[in-house]
Amino acid sequence: MQVASTVAVLFLVVLAGAVARLTKIMSDEVIHGVSRLVTEITLPCLTVISLARREFSPEVLRDFLVTLVLSLAVIGLSILLGWLVFHDSPRGRRVMLAGFCGLSNCGFMGYPVVAALNPDWMIYAVAFNIAYNLIAWTLVVSLFAGEKKISLKKALLNVNIIASVIGISLFCLPVTLPDILGNALDSVGGLTTPLSMILIGTRITEFRPKDLKDVDTHLIVLLRNFVLPTLTFGAMLLLPVSGEIRSVMLIMTAMPLGSLIPMLAELYHNDAPFAARAVAWSTLLSLGTIPLMLTLL
């Protein structure tokens, strides 16, 4: 019941975002600015404060590292699966579809859902997000660019990776943030959930029924929203991991298609309109698939 009520509240905020977009309150410029605000400021603040206020224990640190390794494996194998499933597609589309398989919207949607369900799980969500950023800015970017050389430097300089390192350092070291700084980070980080959900609402309004004609759209949404999280959760049941890790792995993989792929498609002159349509359709359907997946918890 708690899961259902939490998700219902989040989706009401999504509805507010859709209304804001339809009534022209959220223009393209505003959406872009808020997206940068969340990605570069509120999300890093949430990461730091979530870890800084978590009491250190060797068991939690061990589970953090386990989650990081499992996340790298799940994301990497999902990309490989997508590469194999869409082997007949032109290379440009194949790259996007494989990237979609590996990269869910774990930042904008995964963090808020985890934080709303159990703030103590955030440390494991951070581990998943570190794996996400490492693979996104190395392997996936290299696939888009058609390069064989992978740049680890670009991934490590990502602001969310830096925030994760700071947060983990504060978690491991006997350091307590001053109340003023901690409260400031908490206030700014607390904006992540409502702003993220409002942004998701604006994306849903971009969907048009005519977008359903593309078969690849349906297949990638089926994989991302249902098949991959189900397979991930099944694999976690077979492994000797804690319930917290299992829950976070399910939540983060059950999120819809990641918004990073359309941005990369635009940057590398790929089919960005297709990518944007797929994200909108996946996000719209996630209003039903996320509660469905969370019943497994």
Cα–Cα distance for residue pair 33/45, rounded to 1 Å: 17
Q: Is 175 helix (H, G, I), strand (E, B) or coil?
A: coil
Cα of 166 vs its chain's centroid, Å: 20
Q: Are 271 and 96 in contact (CB under 8 A)?
A: yes
Residue, of 206 and 122, whose pLDDT is higher: 122
- pLDDT given at position 148: 64
Residue, of 59 and 287, whose pLDDT is higher: 59
Residue 75: pLDDT band with limits 50, 70, 90: very high
The CATH class of 2-292 is: mainly alpha
- Residues 6 or more apart in contact with residue 259 via CB below 8 angstroms: 35, 105, 108, 203, 279
Which tokens hold the place of 260?
């990073």
Q: How many C-beta atoms surround the C-beta of residue 44 within 10 A? A: 24
Asked if the model's pLDDT at residue 228 lies above 70, the reply is: yes
Cα–Cα distance for residue pair 289/248, rounded to 1 Å: 16
Of the candidates 74, 114, 50, 87, the residue with the CA atom closest to the CA atom of residue 224:
74
Calculate the average pLDDT of the chain.
Answer: 90
For 285-290, what is the mean pLDDT?
90
Asked if the model's pLDDT at residue 1 lies above 60, the reply is: no
- pLDDT given at position 24: 92
- pLDDT given at position 109: 86
Which tokens hold the place of 36?
């940068």
- pLDDT given at position 196: 86
Residue 53: pLDDT band with limits 50, 70, 90: confident
**Rg for the chain, CA atoms, rounded:** 18
User: What is the percent of the chain where pLDDT is above 90?
Assistant: 56
Residue, of 188 and 154, whose pLDDT is higher: 188
Asked if the model's pLDDT at residue 120 lies above 60, the reply is: yes
pLDDT tens-digit readout, 128-137: 999 998 898 8
- pLDDT given at position 151: 67
Cα–Cα distance for residue pair 278/223, rounded to 1 Å: 12
How many Cα neighbours within 13 Å face the side chain of 279?
28
For 39-64, what is the mean pLDDT?
91
For 15-38, what is the mean pLDDT?
91
For 76-100, what is the mean pLDDT?
95
- pLDDT given at position 62: 95
Find the farthest-apart pair of alpha carbons in the chain and give their distance in angstroms, rounded.
57
Cα of 280 vs its chain's centroid, Å: 15
Residue 247: pLDDT band with limits 50, 70, 90: very high
* Helix (H) or strand (E) run with residue 138 in it: none
Q: Are 197 and 112 in contact (CB under 8 A)?
A: yes
Residue, of 69 and 196, whose pLDDT is higher: 69
**φ, ψ for residue 101 (rounded to 5)?**
-60, -35
Cα–Cα distance for residue pair 66/47, rounded to 1 Å: 18
For 81-105, what is the mean pLDDT?
95
Asked if the model's pLDDT at residue 10 lies above 60, the reply is: yes
Residue, of 221 and 108, whose pLDDT is higher: 221
Residue 155: pLDDT band with limits 50, 70, 90: confident
